[in-house]
Amino acid sequence: MSPLIAGNWKMNGLTHSLDELSELARLLTTGEAPRALVVVCPPATLLAAVAAQGASSGIIAGGQDCHANASGAHTGDISAGMLADAGAQYVIVGHSERRNDHAETSDTVRAKAEAAIGSGLKPIICVGETESQRDAGEAESVVAGQLAASIPDAAEQHEVIVAYEPVWAIGTGRTPTLDEISQMHNAIRARLADRFGERGETIRILYGGSLKPQNAREILGVDNVNGGLVGGASLLAKDFYTIISAV
């Protein structure tokens, strides 16, 4: 499978940030052709612009979240259909910052993933343990529970992506060892294969959590790491391109 590198801009980005997107497009089209799918998930205010501006260089637009309902009285929320209408092809669901800051459960995440699939989007479903859960030896069981409850049965027929992000490594500069990443990604692969059979062998598993230019090549070379979900480093074209080029 071709690797996928997704940039999550989080709550960052104004109109002038599209200059970085232009620079990324220049790098992607004038440098060595990337061997990965490149997805940029900006704030919703920039989604349509990213979709339009990135199309000619192969940059794919994605949303950062969606509501489980198609429409209704949900002030401030955005539906999967709205994301698709703005040009998105992917959407992140279940990011730890949503699970923690907005008390989203895995059932909520599954409903959002189902809504995404129903609108023709590919959900990037995030899972990951906290520092206390890892220290207690519960990391694999926590992630297994999130996988079971967050991934809809529709994944058997539709494309979904799993992103493993150890919560304690997001934005902290701390990174698991390569052995720890390998152990978790292999465990996730085994769970996916047990549930979905051959289909589970083809589901991309991304690594996220302080993925940056300095460590990208090593991490992306780990078995069953099929790409990355990049936070802060995706805001700067040069850094993001370096990670993409590490594939």
Q: Which residue numbers are catalytic? A: 95, 165
Question: What distance in Å separates the CA atoms of residue 242 and residue 62, rounded to the nearest whole number?
Answer: 20
Query: Which two three-digit tokens encode residue 211?
Result: 């993925």
148 CB-side CA count, 13 A: 9
Closest CA to 143 of 203, 189, 97, 111: 189
Q: Can you tell me whether residue 116 is helix, strand or coil?
A: helix
Q: Tokens 């497009």, residue? A: 25
β-bridge pairing 122-127 and 90-93: parallel
C-beta separation of 65 from 78 below 8 A:
yes
C-beta separation of 164 from 208 below 8 A:
yes
- In degrees, to the nearest 5, what angle opens at C-alpha 167 toward C-alphas 239 and 147? 110
